[in-house]
Amino acid sequence: MSSIIQLLPDHVANQIAAGEVVQRPASVVKELLENAVDAKATDIKLIIKDAGKSLIQVIDNGVGMSVTDARLCFERHATSKIRQAEDLFSLHTKGFRGEALASIAAIAHVEMKTKQDQEELGTHLIIEGSKFVSQEVAVLPKGTSFAVKNLFYNIPARRNFLKSDIVEYRHVIDEFQRVALAHPNIHFTFYHNGSEMFNLPQSNFRQRIVAIFSGKTNEKLVPVQEETELVEIQGFVSKPEFAKKNRGEQFFFVNDRYIKSGYLHHAVMAAYDGILKDGAQPSYFLFLSVPPHTIDINIHPTKTEIKFDDEQALYAILRAAIKHSLGQFNVAPILDFDRDATLDTPYHYKDLEGVIPTVQVDANFNPFAETQPTKSYSGSGSNYKKTEIASSWEGLYVGLKQETETFSASSNFSFENEEVTSSLFDLEDAEPTIHRTYQIHKKYIVSPIKSGMVIVDQQRAHQRVLYEQFLVNMTVHQASSQQLLFPLNLYFSKNEMELIAELQLSLMNTGFVFEETQKDHVVISGIPVNITESEVSLVLEQLLSDLQDGIPESSFSQNDTIAKSMAKSLAVKTGSYLTEKEQENLVNGLFACKEPNVSPFQKPTFITMRVEDIDKKFAL
């Protein structure tokens, strides 16, 4: 019987491996940038076109490669990072598998130019689908240039799974930011479709954060620093008042490698316990330096997850370090129940000497004397004058009886009638007050109907009402706007500004008026009539959070997403008290909607209870 198991050809194996390494253009950007960093480059340029679908090019001034290395680097499991299995536990570089370039070359057109500093000429290679097309000697500058063109050209099904250019571009920016934050000592430049998006000169960590996330970031940051035998922590966290709805600005770096860790994120949130609003997420940029042998970074294909030897101790140290920093910079309140604040010495008293009070006693003072002269008592620098009193206390009441007798009942005085009436208005003919709605636990509204009663969820009902209002305004283009006396300046990161630019037309249809749009902020001079000025930033933050996975391409889907997000932000929340008039308006508005049964998120807005159902409860 013939064997049915056979070795796969190299080009097929490379395409299969590419499925793990290369998921989208951002994956290629990550691998090439990390290779440039490992090559000890001090200047790295990233150039992409069409969000990386047409071109991804990384140019560095690193050590370069020889002719042999240039050819060998595209072979599977060929790497300069490790030599034996023990090296996996003492890694100081980014990549080490030796599969990245081979996988990229299997699914794209790759052009590589490289030259070492001591060599006069470099090497120019062209590869298409794992096949070497040409290899030439060329005059090149020091370093390496990788150009990856037409990604997934030979796997059209995979190319069709790519998202829109906006979504893929955001993923590329995410990968670029992670590498750029981890290495502030390297000059990074980023170009997209011929336009310069980022120019990050060599700087310190704080300056790099501000350069990437806009100028207002500087005033948000609180430094964190802690050094122990187990870990060294450096970085910054944000002040609680600058917390956002989304988790976009949260970065952990372990030994200069970006990682994701829900366990460490929980430690950060525990440090903010009690000083954040519900649903708010703080920003943090934290560097953790640990001995390489205490971590295992080979547990995930993308190397974004790490296994620590002692996670519990690391959790406690991280939480304590952040909590200490927040308290040290007066960001978090410090409670000390053993301390009496009234005993604190004011600053303007700290150098003053105490004054000893003096007391003067009059030895000739007789309290039983008929008359007393004026005396002066001196104590603590103050004087008290005692006036002469009557010769006898009985004299104080002399003539009191005669004075009171003058005000007799026969006197010609008229007094205002002090009779208190039971009511200011005669209510005999008035209609009795009828309560049509009742609020229960500040969450549900109960309204009687002929067959029984309706119980309405106030938050979901308001979401449905607002959702249909916003949707009509955006489709009919008749939204009304209220002008602000003082325009609002709202600052966002470059990622968020890209989203706002795409959504600007739809937001204008809801009632927003954009007076000015800059690279890092927008100026809003008008807002929808049902939004207060203080709610604008919350609405936009919620909208950006809901669109993290991308903006729908069709205009209707885009309007639908915006209407849902704004309705969620502005709807009355559970726990809010509503007056009877507000309750009635909400119930009437709900049943005037086209689809009153469910909220915009397909949750029921109300339930009905018939009298028969209530009777059955009592019959038990």
Query: What own/partner pairs with CB < 8 Å and gap ≥ 24 does 19-23 have?
Result: 19/158, 20/99, 20/103, 20/301, 21/99, 21/100, 21/103, 21/104, 21/301, 22/103, 22/104, 22/107, 22/151
Question: For residue 620, what pLDDT band results from cuts at 50, 70 and 90?
Answer: low
What's the confidence (pLDDT) of residue 177? Answer: 92
* From the candidate CATH numbers 3.30.565.10, 1.10.357.10, 3.40.50.2300, 3.40.50.1100, the one assigned to the domain spanning 10-200: 3.30.565.10
Nearest to 133 by CA among 121, 149, 120: 149
Q: Token pair of 269, please? A: 């949130």
For the domain made up of 444-607, the CATH class stated in words is alpha beta
37 and 179 Cβ atoms separated by less than 8 Å: yes
Strand-pairing partners, residue 196, are: 191
377 and 360 Cβ atoms separated by less than 8 Å: yes
Which residues have a Cβ under 8 Å from the Cβ of 417 and sit 6 or more positions away? none
What's the confidence (pLDDT) of residue 379? Answer: 46
- How far, in Å, CA of 377 to CA of 463, rounded? 74
Nearest to 600 by CA among 572, 554, 567: 567
300 and 21 Cβ atoms separated by less than 8 Å: no
- How far, in Å, CA of 322 to CA of 317, rounded? 9
Positive/negative CA dihedral, 554, 563, 245, 504:
positive
- DSSP letters for 446-486: EEEETTEEEEEEHHHHHHHHHHHHHHHHHHHT---EEEEEE
- How far, in Å, CA of 276 to CA of 267, rounded? 14
**Within 13 Å, how many C-alpha atoms sit on residue 415's CB side?**
7
Q: Which residue's entry shows tokens 């609405």?
A: 539
Question: For residue 426, what pLDDT band results from cuts at 50, 70 and 90?
Answer: very low
519 and 494 Cβ atoms separated by less than 8 Å: yes
Answer yes or no: is pLDDT of 15 > 80. no
The model's pLDDT over 122-179, given as tens digits with 9 standing for 90+, comes to 999 999 888 888 999 999 999 999 999 999 888 888 888 888 888 888 889 989 999 9
What's the confidence (pLDDT) of residue 456? Answer: 92
Question: For residue 274, what pLDDT band results from cuts at 50, 70 and 90?
Answer: confident
- How far, in Å, CA of 400 to CA of 229, rounded? 89
Answer yes or no: is pLDDT of 277 > 70. yes
CATH 3.30.420.40 fits 212-328, yes or no: no
The model's pLDDT over 377-389, given as tens digits with 9 standing for 90+, comes to 444 444 444 444 4
The residues of the chain that CATH labels 3.30.230.10 are 212-328
The model's pLDDT over 220-237, given as tens digits with 9 standing for 90+, comes to 889 999 998 888 999 999
Question: For residue 55, what pLDDT band results from cuts at 50, 70 and 90?
Answer: very high
What's the confidence (pLDDT) of residue 604? Answer: 92
Answer yes or no: is pLDDT of 548 > 70. no
User: Pairing state of beta strands 250-254 and 295-296?
Assistant: unpaired
Q: Among the ranges 182-186, 339-343, 555-559, which has the highest mean pLDDT value?
A: 182-186
Q: Token pair of 540, please? A: 């936009």
Which of 22-31, 224-233, 433-442, 513-522 is predicted with the least confidence, judged by mean pLDDT? 433-442
The residues of the chain that CATH labels 3.30.1370.100 are 444-607
What's the confidence (pLDDT) of residue 91? Answer: 55
Question: For residue 400, what pLDDT band results from cuts at 50, 70 and 90?
Answer: low
Q: What is the DSSP letter of 136?
A: E
Top pLDDT among 362 and 348 is at 362
What's the confidence (pLDDT) of residue 347? Answer: 57
24 and 162 Cβ atoms separated by less than 8 Å: yes
What's the confidence (pLDDT) of residue 458? Answer: 92
Top pLDDT among 18 and 457 is at 457
Average pLDDT estimate for 461-479: 84
What's the confidence (pLDDT) of residue 57? Answer: 94
Strand-pairing partners, residue 438, are: 446
Answer yes or no: is pLDDT of 309 > 60. yes
What's the confidence (pLDDT) of residue 530? Answer: 78
What's the confidence (pLDDT) of residue 613? Answer: 86
Answer yes or no: is pLDDT of 262 > 80. yes
The CA dihedral of 460, 461, 466, 468, to the nearest 10 degrees, is 100
Q: What is the pTM of this model?
A: 0.70
515 and 523 Cβ atoms separated by less than 8 Å: yes
Q: Among the ranges 231-240, 308-317, 395-404, 523-532, which has the highest mean pLDDT value?
A: 231-240
Indicate the SS3 state at residue 61.
coil
Q: Token pair of 249, please? A: 């600005």
Strand ranges in 71-205 using DSSP code E only, listed in sequence order: 109-115, 122-128, 131-138, 143-149, 187-192, 195-200
Helices marked H in 154-220 — which ranges? 156-160, 165-182, 205-213
CA distances from 247 to 262, 279, 327, 348 (A): 12, 10, 23, 46
User: Pairing state of beta strands 257-259 and 295-296?
Assistant: unpaired
Strand-pairing partners, residue 198, are: 190
Question: For residue 463, what pLDDT band results from cuts at 50, 70 and 90?
Answer: very high
What's the confidence (pLDDT) of residue 345? Answer: 58
104 and 28 Cβ atoms separated by less than 8 Å: yes
Radius of gyration of the chain (CA): 38
Nearest to 51 by CA among 172, 176, 174: 172
H/E element holding 506?
A: helix 494-510
Strand-pairing partners, residue 224, are: 235
Strand-pairing partners, residue 138, are: 122
Which of 64-73, 112-121, 456-465 is predicted with the least confidence, judged by mean pLDDT? 64-73
H/E element holding 21?
A: helix 10-21
Q: What is the 3-state secondary structure (H, E, C) of 312-326?
A: HHHHHHHHHHHHHHH
Average pLDDT estimate for 351-362: 76
Nearest to 529 by CA among 461, 470, 462: 470
- How far, in Å, CA of 46 to CA of 427, rounded? 82
Look over the chain and give the mean of its residue pLDDT values, rounded to a whole number. 79
- How far, in Å, CA of 391 to CA of 18, rounded? 113
Average pLDDT estimate for 51-63: 92
Average pLDDT estimate for 61-77: 84
Neighbour count for residue 276 (Cβ, 10 Å): 14
